[in-house]
Amino acid sequence: MPMTLKRTVFFVSDGTGLTVEALGHSLLTQFEDVEFKQIRIPFLDNIEKAQEAVARINHQGETDGMRPIVFTTLVNPELAEIVHQADAFCLSYFETFLAPLEGELGRKSNHTVGRSHGSAESSEYKNRIESINYTLAHDDGITDRDLEEADVILVAVSRCGKTPTSLYLAMQFGLKAANFPLIPEDFDRGRLPGTLEKHRSKLFGLTIQPERLAQIREERRAGSRYASLANCRFEVAEAEKMMRREGIRWLDSSTKSIEEISTTILQELKLR
Amino acid sequence: MPMTLKRTVFFVSDGTGLTVEALGHSLLTQFEDVEFKQIRIPFLDNIEKAQEAVARINHQGETDGMRPIVFTTLVNPELAEIVHQADAFCLSYFETFLAPLEGELGRKSNHTVGRSHGSAESSEYKNRIESINYTLAHDDGITDRDLEEADVILVAVSRCGKTPTSLYLAMQFGLKAANFPLIPEDFDRGRLPGTLEKHRSKLFGLTIQPERLAQIREERRAGSRYASLANCRFEVAEAEKMMRREGIRWLDSSTKSIEEISTTILQELKLR
């Protein structure tokens, strides 16, 4: 068995660094027996900050007794050159991919600092913020007003992940996501809540393994009938029966992250 | 002036594809005079889906009369090989960076499908969901209970972006982010709300240009005193005076995205 290796990794960007961090992280997860200390250096947009970053990286290398790994996305070639002088193993996202892409497109790139999250003044950004507000105002069946504006309406029994998923859809994709709980009254009546019927094409259901649901509910209301396994089994079975009868697409959220659930919803409802 | 060039871009991943899309997007923004049609193909995790993707990419190329650009993150070499047979310009994130990283670390990678957003069963993921719930329960000064659990407490006058920023901090970084409005009563009293004083080290302020604030408020309550420029100027000036006096760090959110605001807050409060 090899000893656990420890390495320090820097993510250096002229923007927030969130993209290069996500990217680097997905590579690092491929090395399970290495322990990575990860440091993000955002907003590196002048020579002074570039020199500070080099000093910090070199100092870390001396402390570690091993050169750090540095992932960069720096659009400005002058700043990139300074950072790449650090005594480190540098993987440069822009230098690696921009030249081949320029070749393929037959165009020179702008070399302007990217705002991959969109400028705060862009209509796309404003739409995201508006969608977050809409989603908050339409959480958990608070209101059935303005449902015609919704891009998607999630339905599920309580504690399946409707709220975090709705917020993610709004925040990441700028979608207006309402959500409604399926409650025992709906099962007694054997029908969807009336206000939802006319929006059937926007409905998407979440379900969950009853054991997992009981565990989640138990953390909130220990010992309650609401959290009991018998009741969770009943509610999940009734909800699935209703969704099947009404022709609502759904997925099991038990082991899925909100990113995975949201991506699946986009695919299934052919949104975007 | 060159004609506007149109190209189709695919983002192909065995996971959600969100990371490779963000990445590709940051490169594409470097080519302002090219119009990109962007298509994400997520969850490509078997041979059949890989062959379908190739057919789709080739078909698009025939329609466009120009080969598509394909960004991939595919951990499975067999699937990557199939996709890379498409008649397209392929930029492979894993193939490009994994080998050099293996060399630097002196270890082989696992070649397991990455879950860069964290498994839904991991403690990190559960913490994110718990933070979203905490943040929703502590939005807009709803309650001052459990503030000792907060990682950060945002303060600002109404409509500076407290809520979307708090939610982003929770969703992206798993931080418990409470937020409190600064209201005219606080300015009259000339002091922070009492419950916040003992949490001063967690406080972070947002401010905004009064003109921008008036515009945002006008959209919500047209013609109101609340939205008037005079009132917005007064509130912003009072809020900044209070934050200065109380030694609260703050930033101007007028032209910043929630990603940029959140990244700055993390830096300033030395969180993570």
The answer to whether residue B101 neighbours chain A at the CB level (below 8 Å) is yes
- Taking an 8 Å cut-off on Cβ atoms, the answer to whether B69 and A101 are in contact is yes
Q: Comparing C-alpha atoms, which of A74, A180, A33 is closest to residue B109? A: A33
Residue A253 near residue A204 (C-beta atoms within 8 A) = no
CATH number at residue A208: 3.40.50
**B contacts of A256 (beta carbons < 8 Å):** 120
Chain B hits for A94, CB-CB cut-off 8 Å, are: 27
**Partner residue facing B120 (CB), from A25, A133, A255:** A255
Best probe of the B interface among A257, A265, A267, by most B CBs < 10 A, is A257
Q: Is the CB of B168 inside 8 Å of chain A's CB atoms?
A: yes
* Residues of chain A found within 8 Å of residue B31, distances taken between Cβ atoms: 101, 105, 107, 109-110
Residue of A105, A251, A266, A272 to mutate for B, most B C-beta atoms under 10 A: A105
A232 annotated as belonging to a binding site for a ligand: no
Q: Which residues of A touch B132 (CB under 8 A)?
A: 163-164, 167
Q: How far apart are CA B70 and CA B57, in angstroms?
A: 8
**pLDDT of amino acid B270:** 87
Structural element, H or E, at residue A34: strand A34-41
- How far is residue B110 from each of residues A23, A70, B102, measured CA to CA in Å? 17, 21, 10
CA distances from B184 to A202, B142, B158, B179, B210 (A): 42, 17, 11, 16, 15
Shared domain for B94 and B142, answered yes or no, is no
Q: Contact A42/B114, CB-based, under 8 Å?
A: no
Residue that is written with structure tokens 């830096």 in the block: B267
Residue B188 lies in a domain: yes
> Annotation-wise, does A163 bind a ligand?
yes
Last residue of a domain, one of A74, A105, A136: A105
Of B26, B117, B164, nearest to A19 by CB-CB distance is B26
Would residue B148 count as lying in a domain?
Answer: yes
Which of A105, A134, A152 is a domain's end point?
A: A105
Task: Tell me: do B133 and B86 sit in the same domain.
Answer: no
Q: B117, A35 in Cβ contact below 8 A?
A: no
**Among residues A205, A206, A196, which one has the least CA distance to residue A248?**
A205
Inside any domain, residue B92:
yes
In a domain, B190, yes or no: yes
Express as a percent the part of chain A with pLDDT over 70: 96
Residue of A27, A117, A129 lying closest to B101 (CB–CB): A27
CB contact under 8 A, A5 and B89: no
A240-255: average pLDDT? 95
Clarify whether residues B254 and B134 are in a common domain.
yes
Confidence of residue A52 (pLDDT cuts 50, 70, 90): very high
Domain match, A250 and A156 both = yes
> Which structural domain range is residue A50 located in?
5-105
**Position A72 confidence tier, pLDDT thresholds 50, 70, 90:** very high
Give yes or no: residues A100 and A128 share one domain.
Answer: no
pLDDT recorded at residue B190: 87
Please indicate, yes or no, if residue B243 is contained in any of the structural domains.
Answer: yes
Task: Tell me which residue of A149, A117, A122, A121 sits closest to A135, measured CA to CA.
Answer: A149
d(CA B206, CA A5): 42
What is the C-alpha to C-alpha distance for residues B171 and A162, in angstroms, rounded to an integer? 14
- Is residue B15 assigned to a domain? yes
Q: What is the pLDDT of residue A22?
A: 92
CA distance B224 to chain A (A): 20
Contact between B262 and B216 under an 8 Å Cβ cutoff? The reply is no
Print the SS3 string covering B122-189: CHHHHHHHHHHHHHHHCHHHCCCCCHHHCCEEEEECCCCCHHHHHHHHHHHHCCCEEEEECCHHHHHH
pLDDT at A116: 56
Measure the CA–CA gap between A222 and B123, rounded to whole angstroms: 20
Q: Are residues A153 and A254 in the same domain?
A: yes
Cβ–Cβ under 8 Å, residues B134 and B170: yes
Chain B: give the shortest CA distance to residue A238, in Å. Answer: 25
Chain A residues closer than 8 Å to B215 by CB: none
Q: Which uninterrupted H or E stretch holds B261?
A: helix B258-268
* Structure confidence by residue, pLDDT tens digits, A96-135: 999 999 999 998 888 766 555 567 778 889 999 999 999 9
Nearest to A16 among B116, B167, B259 (CB): B259
In a domain? residue B182 = yes
Asked whether the predicted pLDDT for residue B113 surpasses 80, the reply is no
- Same domain for A93 and A17, yes or no, is yes
- Measured in angstroms, the CA of B107 and the nearest CA of chain A are apart by 8
Q: How many domains does chain A have?
A: 2
Q: What is the 3-state secondary structure (H, E, C) of A99-145?
A: HHHHHHHCCCCCCCCCCCCCCCCCHHHHHHHHHHHHHHHCHHHCCCC
B39-52 mean pLDDT: 97
Q: What number of other Cβ atoms are within 10 A of residue A34's Cβ?
A: 18
What gap in Å lies between CA B157 and CA B165, rounded to an integer?
14
pLDDT of residue B2: 54
DSSP annotation of A219 reads: H
E strand or H helix at B19: helix B18-28
DSSP state of B68: P
Tokens representing B175 are: 């931080």
* Per-residue pLDDT tens over the stretch A141-155: 999 999 999 999 999
Whether B82 and B141 map to the same domain: the answer is no
Any domain includes B115: no
Spell out which residues of chain A touch residue B70, defining contact as CB-CB under 8 Å: none
Residue A85: phi and psi, rounded to 5, are -80, -10
Backbone φ and ψ for B152, nearest 5 degrees, come out as -150, 145
Are A136 and A18 within one domain?
Answer: no
A17·B263 Cβ contact <8 A: yes
Q: Where residue A235 falls among pLDDT bands split at 50, 70, 90?
A: very high
Tokens of B221: 């309550």
Among residues B71, B105, B139, which one ends one of the domains?
B105
B98/A96 Cβ within 8 A: no
What pLDDT was estimated at residue A110?
A: 81
- A241 in contact with chain B, both atoms CB, cutoff 8 A: no
Please tell me whether residues A140 and A24 are part of one structural domain. no
Q: Do B260 and A33 touch (CB under 8 A)?
A: no
Selected residues 199-238 of chain B with any CB under 8 Å from a CB in chain A: none
Amino acid B122: pLDDT: 86
Residue among B32, B27, B265 nearest A73 (CA): B27
Q: Would you call A43 and B73 a contact, using CB atoms and an 8 Å cutoff?
A: no
> Would the pLDDT of B143 be above 60?
yes
CB pairs under 8 A between A and B: 190
With a pLDDT cut of 90, the percent of chain A lying above it is 82
Minimal C-alpha gap between B11 and chain A (Å): 13
What part of A 13-72 touches B (C-beta under 8 Å)? 15-20, 22-23, 25-27, 29-34, 42-43, 69
CA–CA dist B134, B171 (Å, integer): 11
Do residues B70 and B132 share a domain? Answer: no
User: Looking at CA atoms only, how far is residue A52 from chain B in angstroms?
Assistant: 15
Q: Is A159 annotated as a binding residue?
A: yes
Residue A54 and residue A156 share a domain: no
- Please give the structure tokens belonging to residue A210: 């009853």
CA-based nearest distance A192→chain B, Å: 27
Q: Which long-range contacts (CB under 8 A, 24 or more apart) does A190-197 make?
A: A190/A242, A191/A242, A192/A155, A192/A242, A192/A246, A193/A141, A193/A144, A195/A144, A195/A147, A196/A144, A196/A147, A196/A153, A196/A155
Q: Which residue has the higher pLDDT, B118 or A249?
A: A249
Distance of alpha carbon A65 from alpha carbon B67, whole angstroms: 47
